[in-house]
Amino acid sequence: MVPSKLIGMIEDHWEQISTNFIEDVKRDPHLLELGRLPQSELRDRARDILKNLSHWLTESDDNELARRYEDLGRRRCAEGIPLSEVVYGYQDIRRRIIDWVRAQGVAQTTIELYAAEELEHALARFFDHVVFRIVRGYELKLKEGVRPARIPA
């Protein structure tokens, strides 16, 4: 069972978590191309996950995820963003969520610790699926023979 209290906290504080994520992307030397995306684009991507986390973890279906994230993979390929950076960016969002939850000190009792652990498992499954769909979309775009563009510096 996905802990709704923790998910609600994340959704309520999506701006703080997304700000931490954007700061990471903008200063990480391994994310040069991703970091060139407009801040608004990075914020939109983070908000889509963070503000709608309960939907993504409990209500969404595979077709919705497949469409959304395969399209994103195609778009990132066309933009010339290396696949490794796209994947690393989504891993960073997941880390930011987990770090934020841990920093809140919500795992005081055995039940709360179990809820936090369940959330981490649910996030891992969700982000594994998201990354798979992004990679799939990226590969499909490459198979089309489209040469990726470069984001202007």
Look-up of token digits 């802990």: 3
Indicate the fold that domain 4-143 takes in CATH: Globin-like (1.10.490)
- Please give the share of the chain, as a percent, with pLDDT higher than 70: 92
pTM value is 0.86
Domain ranges of the chain: 4-143
d(CA 69, CA 149): 19
Residue 129 has pLDDT above 90, yes or no: yes
C-alpha to C-alpha distances, 29 to 14, 22, 47, nearest whole angstrom:
24, 13, 23
d(CA 3, CA 141): 37
Angle (CA) 141-94-91 rounded to 5° is: 45
Q: pLDDT tens digit string along 106-120?
A: 767 788 778 888 889
Most confident of 1-5, 42-46, 109-113: 42-46
Confidence of residue 92 (pLDDT cuts 50, 70, 90): very high
Q: Indicate the DSSP class of residue 59.
A: I
